[in-house]
Amino acid sequence: MSEYTFEKLPDLREALVKGDVTSALDLVPLVDVEEDAYEYVALVMEIDRMLMSFYSSGNQLAVSSTIELISKTDRLHFSEDWPQFTDLISKIVGMLAEMDKGAQRDELLKVVLSKLPLKDRRVSYDENLNFNLACYYAINDDVKTMTEYVRRASFYYEKEQFLEDKSFEKYKTEPFFVDVLENIGYTASSWWKCAWPIEEWYEKITY
């Protein structure tokens, strides 16, 4: 990581700890992924480490500030060749799933997901993102959307991983949920048809 990027990170962290998103927005290093991909990836990974350290220590103000920062800045964004930003957004979705339900939480999810090209195969096939979205909609009692993301994630996750996650506690004995989990492991062609019930996704998925 360059000296320019490295020097900005302590001040950025301090601003996030204070909940000062306005200052933090100016402190995000400007790195062009086209000119220096490794520098950009290093930056995204540092932001990821910051977020996870705030989360692990229970610093909810810093977590919320970091999520807001990522949702607002145009200096952190999706890159076709590097999955680190998608990984970061996936972790945020998982954190949002744990927050109190409400319109503000739903709006923040919408803004965060708008940072990703959801119809790009690198995103739509991302198992962790799909699993965390399944958790989010399970907690929101949105059974239809939850089931769709369970099907997508189930191509990569074992049945036990769904049964052990508390997000799905209320659905564990529901026949429709049991049926979905029992079908884990079927062929890719069957998975594709079952996992994409929304036609616009099915027709317009990009490569």
* pLDDT tens-digit readout, 108-137: 999 999 999 988 888 988 999 999 999 999
- pLDDT of residue 185 exceeding 60, the answer is no
Task: Tell me the residue type at 185.
Answer: G
| Count of beta carbons in the 10 Å neighbourhood of residue 44 | 22
Distances (CA, A) of 106 to 51, 97, 136, 162: 20, 10, 10, 22
Question: φ and ψ at 172, to 5 degrees?
Answer: -55, -30
**pTM score:** 0.85
DSSP code per residue over 48-103: HHHHHHHHHTT-HHHHHHHHHHHHH-SSS--BTTB-HHHHHHHHHHHHHHHSPPSH
Task: Tell me the residue type at 38.
Answer: Y
**pLDDT at residue 203, as a whole number:** 46
Question: What's the rounded mean pLDDT across residues 44-66?
Answer: 97
**pLDDT at residue 182, as a whole number:** 85
